[in-house]
Chain A
Amino acid sequence: MDWLFFGEISLAGLAMGGLYALIGLGFVIIYKATRVINFAIGEIMMFAAYLFLAFAGGMEMSPWVALPLAVLGGSLLGGVIEKVMIRPMLGESSISVVMVTIGIASILVGVVEMIWGADPQLLPDFLPRKPVFIGEMYLAPKIAYGFLIGAAMLIIYLLYFRFSRGGVALRATASDQAAAYSMGINVRRVFNLAWVFGSLAASLAGVLVAATGGLSPQFGAIGLSVLVVVIVGGLDSIVGALVAGVFIGWLETVAGAYLGGEYRMPATFAVLAVILVFRPYGLFGTHDIERV
């Protein structure tokens, strides 16, 4: 066995997994606080990536100005979606809310096609192009630097949720909405905050993934691939999203390298099937017990 090759493949997979973890985090934050599975997360990623393209490409801003602007734009979009389209659905069945998020996804694709057209796009280069070597192992620079930016964002999130007032309010609402409400936490504001933070994580991941794999109005499909990550990790578990994201990224890449690209998805879905059989609530998800 060529261990150097295995090491290089694994590094690439782990780095891509870091970005999956970031997208997974976007899913989980929203689900944990509001119990809404956001099927529009891929399209929010796509929208942020197009914003980056508009700022850095069309308006020729510095990419390092365009990046935060695009990410903020994506998170703002998340906040507006919650306020205008999700909040009125409070109390409705979860299927209805899911259908609303699917509808939002279609609207975003239409808006993007209207503004930027249907042509595939490449984002302006903003990450260093010099190859990265860890020992003898080569790592593509976009993946390496994308991973570092994503990891920095993950650490900021974890610190925020652990120590800030907003983070505590979010966790309290996620644990018990009624108790959080009775303790004076503005639950509606927390819902909105969850959409803003969830969309922010997804938006950053969107720009980083699009910088590697290109951008088109169909980019949002990646959101569904990451659904595997959050189901494996547990829909309401931040740790689960991180662990499963990194693992699924690694598995997908190793399966693709050794078995062929056509085995990437079957490999991850095989893991999903096994997890669903033995732990239907995911590796780290909460096992809800319904008392009758």
Chain B
Amino acid sequence: MALRTLSRLHSFLRRRTRGVGVFERIVAYAILWWILTEGDVRSLAFGIPAIAAAALINPFAPGGPRAWRLARGGPFFAVFAWLSVRSAVDVAARVIRPARPIDPAVVDYPWRLQSGSARQFMANLINLMPGTLTIDPGEQLLVLHVLGGKERALSGIRRLEERVAGLFGEEIPAHE
């Protein structure tokens, strides 16, 4: 019994230790440990074994999500932060006006992104963008709930999709 568990664990570890480099994982977990302990040097007595043990296992299955293009992460975050603030102000303005100017619509949007992880990322990102909410990230169509101003929201989604494609290193067809 114990032997079988051990051999399963061994084959699991052998499968998972391939792929993304151990070195990158050690660096990433060390930074995370530094943040979580707020730079407390004494905690490294626990930290070094913990980081080493965690780095043994690759959290991404082989052939899993492709790595982000890190260089594009910074500008993407800046755009994200700006759009989040705009979307919060937009929804706040709709809430606060006595007339409550909302005109909801349910819209189908044909995907241009191909890979599953890029679609997943975008479907969740949409919930934080001005006036849009994902109802169903389907196989062919992305079903959206729009709070008002359908055309404007859709053109925002198109631009967002192009940015996500850039982040994941995907080529997508231009909008007709």
User: Is chain B a partner of chain A in the same complex?
Assistant: no
Residues on A lying within 8 angstroms of B by beta carbon are none
